[in-house]
Amino acid sequence: YDELMKKVFQDKVKIEHEVAYEKHKKFRQYIASYSYFMTRLDFLRVAEAIMIDYQDRTCVGNYLRESQQQAKKWFKYRPSKKNAHWYLHNYSKKYGSQFYFDFHGMKKRNVIGTEGYNGQNILIDLDNSRIVVTNSAATGWNVRTFMLNVIRKGKLPK
């Protein structure tokens, strides 16, 4: 697993620092988590690599396309719910392979996103080559203003 993580993150994506992730020893083998930790700039490098792979139709890009086509209806889609603006998943209509797809207000837009703990989020407009990455210490800021509207309009909020 360590060698795979090195190949993906350091050799392919070219992150600057080593990625950290949870590993738990159970019996004679380790169980690793899907969660990982990296610097804010390395997080952005991952987002850029995702976008480039998708656009270049690499093996990884084709996997993302298949994930998008096979994504299931997301049961937490509720853009008008009170406090919906705190979480990216409230604006997604579909979910698959750890990615959110089909965002509220962006019909026919090719946008994918991920949501991490306490507002570590990635939102990528694959057609217009726009990336928004957020890193925060806590949830409690407006995802709609600082992520969705930036991707939708192509401008930062005033």
Q: What is the pLDDT of residues 85-114, one digit of tens each?
A: 999 999 999 999 999 999 999 988 999 999
Percent of the chain residues topping a pLDDT of 70: 99
CB neighbour class for 90 (10 Å; exposed up to 12, middle 13-18, buried from 19): buried
Q: What is the pLDDT of residues 110-143, one digit of tens each?
A: 999 999 887 889 999 999 999 999 998 888 899 9
Question: Long-range contacts for 80-88 (Cβ within 8 Å, ≥24 apart)?
Answer: 84/144, 85/142, 85/143, 85/144, 85/145, 86/139, 86/140, 86/141, 86/142, 86/143, 87/115, 87/139, 87/143, 88/113, 88/115, 88/121, 88/123, 88/143, 88/147, 88/148
- For residue 27, what pLDDT band results from cuts at 50, 70 and 90? low
More confidently predicted of 34 and 52? 52
- Domain limits, the chain: 1-38, 40-153
